């Protein structure tokens, strides 16, 4: 049965926000930088770098930007050193929030993240306070309007390639895989002619926290304030918002 996906709702809105802000390339470059610095500059030998490069290309980031980020990480170009941190806390109404950052100034970033939580009826917590509510998963989305394959055919191909499960909504097929299998699943489905609206390794909530319109509005303000910070790479949360409310507030 086609149904409503809380997760795809979150991702659709986030994608629209990223496109609107125009900061996406900078954040993608930092992600590539960190992956290359930690595992080397060859995407064939560095799975995390390969994921970061694929994500950048899917967002139409120019190859020269990708190459420059890798060269900075490997010392071929002078660049800033970034460190990766994850902050955890609660938004309005107890919504679980994880904030992944890459920063060259931890004190500045920590203060900015704390300020965003405090200003929007949230509170920053200790490490581990909400991370247990999320699973790291590969996530692939196929637009139902852009493929002739039916649900059963795609599911069989995805499972055979190593995916864990697939969910069907009114608009799309959502495929989930373990992070270690993500690249293989993606490559196999691309070879079969599928293209993806979204393809990334991300944090999927195990449960969702519903809020009324006032709570959703406060939560969206918190998300926007965090995502507008140049040091913030990703904001993961488990907000359950009615689609009508999201459309009204967007």
Residue 225 is assigned to a structural domain of this protein: no
Is 22 among the domain residues?
Answer: yes
User: What's the burial of 71, exposed, middle or buried (CB within 10 Å: 0-12/13-18/19+)?
Assistant: middle
Total domains in the chain come to: 1
42 in any annotated domain: yes
| CA atoms of 93 and 117, how far apart (whole Å) | 12
| Cβ–Cβ under 8 Å, residues 77 and 71 | yes
Residue bearing tokens 């996906």 = 5
pTM: 0.80
Residue 165 pLDDT greater than 60, yes or no: yes
What is the CATH classification number for the domain harbouring 15? Answer: 1.10.10.200
End-to-end CA distance of the chain: 28
Which range, of 4-8, 52-56, 125-129, averages the lowest pLDDT?
4-8
Please state whether beta strands 209-210 and 83-90 pair in parallel, antiparallel, or not at all (unpaired): unpaired
In a domain, 214, yes or no: no
Domain contains 145: no
Give a yes or no: residue 46 inside a domain: yes
Q: Has residue 7 got a pLDDT over 60?
A: no
The pLDDT-based confidence of 6 (bands split at 50, 70, 90) is: low
**How much is the pLDDT for 93?**
95
| pLDDT computed for residue 4 by the predictor | 40
Does residue 89 lie in a domain region? no
pLDDT tens digits along 73-129: 887 767 677 888 999 999 999 999 999 998 889 999 999 999 999 999 999 999 999
Q: Is 59 or 239 the better-scoring residue by pLDDT?
A: 239
Give me the domain span that covers residue 22.
6-74
Asked, for residue 190, whether it belongs to a domain, the answer is no
Cα 17 to Cα 163: distance, rounded to the nearest angstrom: 29
């Amino acid at each position: 049965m086609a149904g409503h996906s809380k997760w795809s709702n979150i991702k659709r809105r986030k994608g629209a926000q990223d496109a609107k802000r125009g900061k996406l390339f900078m954040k993608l470059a930092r992600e590539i930088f960190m992956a290359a610095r930690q595992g080397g500059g060859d995407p064939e030998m560095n799975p995390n770098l390969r994921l970061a490069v694929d994500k950048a290309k899917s967002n139409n980031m120019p190859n020269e930007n990708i190459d420059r980020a890798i060269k900075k990480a490997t010392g071929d170009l002078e660049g800033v050193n970034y460190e990766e941190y994850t902050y955890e806390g609660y938004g309005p109404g107890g919504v679980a929030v994880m904030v992944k950052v890459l920063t060259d100034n931890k004190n500045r970033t920590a203060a900015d993240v704390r300020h965003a939580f405090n200003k929007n009826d949230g509170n920053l917590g200790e490490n581990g306070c909400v991370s247990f509510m999320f699973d790291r998963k590969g996530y692939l989305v196929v637009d139902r309007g852009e493929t002739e394959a039916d649900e059963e055919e795609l599911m069989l191909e995805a499972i055979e390639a190593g995916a864990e499960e697939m969910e069907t909504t009114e608009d799309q097929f959502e495929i989930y895989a373990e992070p270690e299998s993500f690249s293989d699943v993606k490559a196999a489905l691309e070879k079969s002619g599928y293209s993806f609206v979204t393809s990334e390794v991300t944090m999927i909530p195990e449960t969702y926290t519903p809020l009324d319109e006032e709570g959703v509005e406060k939560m969206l303000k918190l998300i926007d304030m965090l995502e507008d910070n140049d040091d913030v790479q990703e904001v993961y949360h488990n907000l359950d918002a009615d689609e009508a409310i999201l459309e009204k507030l967007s």
